[in-house]
Chain A
C-alpha cells in the first residue's frame, strides 16, 4: 500500500508544461511588475531618501546658520555696546579735558590781565610818585629860594646863619 511512495511522488518530476508556464508567468512578473513597478518605486524611494536626507541636512545647516547669526548678533551687540561705552568714555574724558583746559586758560588769562593791571598800576604809581617828588622838590626849592632871598638881604642875617650852620656842624 505504501509502495507507490516514490512512484506517485510526482511533484518531484519536473513537468515540461509547468516549467514552460512558470517561465512565462515569471517573465510577466519580471517585465510587468519588476521592471514596471519595482524599478520606478526604487527610484521614487531613492529620490525620497535623498530628499529627506537633504531636508535634514538643510535644516541642520539652517539651524547652524541661525545659531551662527545669533552669535554674530550677540557679538555685534556686545561690540556695539563696548564701542558706545568707549565713545561715551572718550567723549567724557575729552569734555573734561576741554573744560579743564578752558578753565586753565581762563585762569591764566585772568592772571595775565591782573598782572598787567598791577604792573600798570605800579608803573603809574611810580611815575606819579616821581612826578610828585619832582613837583615837591621844585616847590621846595622855590620856597627855599624865596625864603633865602628874603633872609639874606642883610649881613647880620648872613653871619647869624653861617654861625648857626657852623654850630650845627658840631
Chain B
C-alpha cells in the first residue's frame, strides 16, 4: 500500500516536471508564432505582463493544464431573464463557440446580453488563430472611471460582453450584470479538492488512529499532523478563547486554519491540482470572514455588547464616540481578516508571476533569445526564493487568520469580573 502510494507520488511529481517544461515550450512557441504572423501586418502583439498576470490569478471556468489542453469544468449559469444554463466548459471550445449567448473570454464565461445575438451553439471562430480577432478588449468610461469592455465580433456586428455579476457594487469595477456564474470554477474545484484532502487526511486516516489506536503512541501521518493540531490548540484556541470556552469553538478555528492552509498550499503547486489562487480571491476570504463575523456576534455575551454599545469605565462624554468606533469595529475586524488574507496570497501570486513574466519581458516577447535566457535564469532564481517565502506565508496567513478569528471570538465570550473590570478590560 505504502509502496504503491510512494510510486504514485513519484509518478505525479515526475510527470509534473515534464508538463511544466512542455508548458513552457508551448508558451514560447505560441509567442513566437503569434509574433511571426502579426509582425508582417505591423500589429506587433507585445507581451502585456499586467493582463497576463491578472488572467493567471483570476478565477476561470476551465482548468488550464498546458498549451491548448484544459480540464473542462461544470458550468452553472443563471441569467434572471433566461433561467439556468448547465453544461461543461468544453462546450465553448476555448472561446470558439458561443452557447446561448455565453462565450468563454480568457477562460471566463461572459454573456452577450443583446437579444439580437442568436441562441444555440454558434461558431465564432474556426481555429485558435482566428479567435484573436473575435473578442476585442477595449475600455470605456463608466461614471468617470475607466472600465475594460469586451467586444465580440460576430456576423459583422459588435456585441458588448457582460462579465459575471460581482458583489462589490461597482467599487472595484464590477457590479451586478445580466447573469450570475455559479459554476464549479477552477477555484471551487481546488477548494473541493482541498476539502476532500482534508477529509481523507483527518477523517479517513488520522481520526481512525485515535479511535482504534487509543492509548497507543502516534504513528505515521498522525505524528505529522498532531503537532500542528496541538500547536493550534495550545497557541491559538486555548489562549485566545480561554480555558472555559475554547473547546466549543475549536472545530471552527481548526477548520478555518486547515482549510486556508490547504488552499494556500494548493495555490503554491504550479501545476494541475494546484495553481488556483483560491485564498487570493476576495470572494473566498469574504465568505470565511463573514462566518467569523457571524460566529463572533452570535456568541457575544452581555459583556461583549456592553463594551460595544456603552463602554464601561470611561467618562460619559467619551462613551458615544467609543460606541461608534466599536460598532464600526464589528465590520472592520472581519473586513481586515478578508483583506489581509486576500492581499497576502494575491501579492505572492503576482510576485511569482511577475518574476516568470521577466522571461518574456527580457525576451521582448520572443524576439530576443539572449534576453529570455537571462530572464529565465534570474526569474527562476527569484521564483525559487519567492516560493519558499510563499510557503512561509501560506502557513503564516492561515495561522494569523485563525488566531485573529479566535481572538475576536474570545473577546465575545470573555467573562469580565465586574468589581475590577475597568482594570482588566482589554
Contacts and interface: CB of A to CB of B under 8 A. Distances in A.
B146 A26 contact: no
Contacts of B286: 14, 19, 22
B387 interface: no
Given A7-B148, A11-B277, A38-B254, A26 B259 contact: yes
B251 interface: yes
B180 A17 contact: yes
Contacts of A159: none
Nearest to B255: A34
Interface stretch (A39-47, A68-76, A95-103, A137-145): A39-47
Interface stretch (B29-37, B96-104, B111-119, B181-189): B181-189
Contacts of B251: 30, 34-35, 38-39, 42
Q: Dominant SS at the B interface?
A: helix
B173 A9 contact: yes
Contacts of A7: 139, 146-148, 173
A87 to B, nearest CB: 54
Nearest to B140: A7
Contact of A29 (B168, B211, B255, B277): B255
B58 interface: yes
A10 to B, nearest CB: 5
B291 A3 contact: no
Interface stretch (B6-14, B126-134, B202-210, B366-374): B202-210
Contact of B48 (A1, A41, A42, A44): A1
A25 interface: yes
B386 interface: no
B182 A20 contact: yes
Interface band, chain A: 35 or more
Interface string B74-113: 0010000000000000000000000000000000100000
A47 to B, nearest CB: 8
B214 interface: yes
A169 interface: no
B282 A14 contact: yes
Interface string A1-19: 1111111111111111111
A11 B174 CA distance: 10
Given A4-B51, A4-B139, A22-B288, A17 B181 contact: yes
A45 B346 CA distance: 36
Interface in A16-64: 16-23, 25-26, 28-30, 32-42, 44-45, 47-48, 51
13 contacts: A2-B50, A10-B58, A12-B168, A17-B76, A18-B185, A22-B188, A23-B291, A30-B251, A33-B255, A33-B258, A40-B210, A44-B214, A51-B215
Interface of B: 46, 48, 50-51, 54, 57-59, 76, 108, 137, 139, 145-148, 163-168, 172-174, 180-185, 187-188, 191-192, 194-195, 198-199, 202-203, 206-207, 210-211, 214-215, 226, 229-230, 233, 247, 250-252, 254-255, 258-259, 277, 280-284, 286-288, 290-291, 342, 346
Given A33-B199, A38-B229, 9 more contacts: A4-B137, A7-B139, A13-B174, A14-B166, A14-B167, A14-B282, A36-B207, A41-B207, A47-B214
